[in-house]
Amino acid sequence: MKYSQEIACSKDNLRLVRDFIKETLNQYVIAEKEVHSMVLAMDEMCANLIIHTHHCNIDDSFEIQIIVTENEGVTFKIIDEHEMFDLLNYEAPSLDELVKTQRKGGIGLILVKKIMDNITIRTENGKNCCCLFKKVKVQ
């Protein structure tokens, strides 16, 4: 089953992202802790896109797709005309480094990489698509 939502690029819409994912996944039997992890990872991805790629321009938007495959897991797609941040080659700073430099940012993408099982970036129908898969028991 596939679900889709258009998101305008405002930080205020992160709540809409979380609600869309939560409401979609709650139609299935998935452990609450896993739902929370997936909501968090997608919140981080969308926050990064809204802030760093679109500079919070409310006139810009991107699409989120959720594909639930029973007995396999959940695939999330973020589809955007703008170029995606190269998450695959991103070298995350260590926690010690972040603490020492007193930086507030930098841990969101660490979380995404720790939570998701597979991440790919590709082009689909002329648009950029970041595909994130979480292997999880779905009924």
Partner 1 sequence: MVDIQKINQNGITIVVVIGEVDASSSIDLDSAMNETIASGALKIIVDCENLDYISSAGLGVFMSYIEEIKANNAKMIITGLNEKVFNVFKILGLDQLLETADTRDQAIELLK
Chosen residue from 30, 43, 77, 87 binding partner 1 by CB under 8 A: 43
**53 is a contact residue toward partner 1 (CB under 8 A):** no
**52 is a contact residue toward partner 1 (CB under 8 A):** no
Using N-to-C axis directions, what is the helix angle for 108-115 and 32-48, rounded to 10°?
140
DSSP string covering 9-67: S-GGGHHHHHHHHHHHHTTS---HHHHHHHHHHHHHHHHHIIIIISTT-TT-EEEEEEE
**19 is a contact residue toward partner 1 (CB under 8 A):** no
Q: d(Cα 89, Cα 87) in Å, to the nearest integer?
A: 6
Chosen residue from 81, 95, 117, 120 binding partner 1 by CB under 8 A: 95
**Residue whose CB is less far from partner 1, 114 or 122:** 114
Give the burial string for 52-62 (b: 16+ CB within 10 Å, else e). ebbeeeeebbb
How many residues in the chain? 139
Cβ 40 to partner 1, closest distance in Å? 6
Chosen residue from 12, 23, 81, 124 binding partner 1 by CB under 8 A: 12
**61 is a contact residue toward partner 1 (CB under 8 A):** no
Segment lying near partner 1 (by CB under 8 A), choices 6-14, 81-89, 116-124, 131-139: 6-14
Judge whether 65 and 4 are in contact, CB under 8 Å: yes
Contact positions vs partner 1 (CB under 8 A) = 11-12, 14-15, 18, 32-33, 36-37, 40, 43-44, 47, 50-51, 95, 98-100, 102-108, 110-111, 114-115
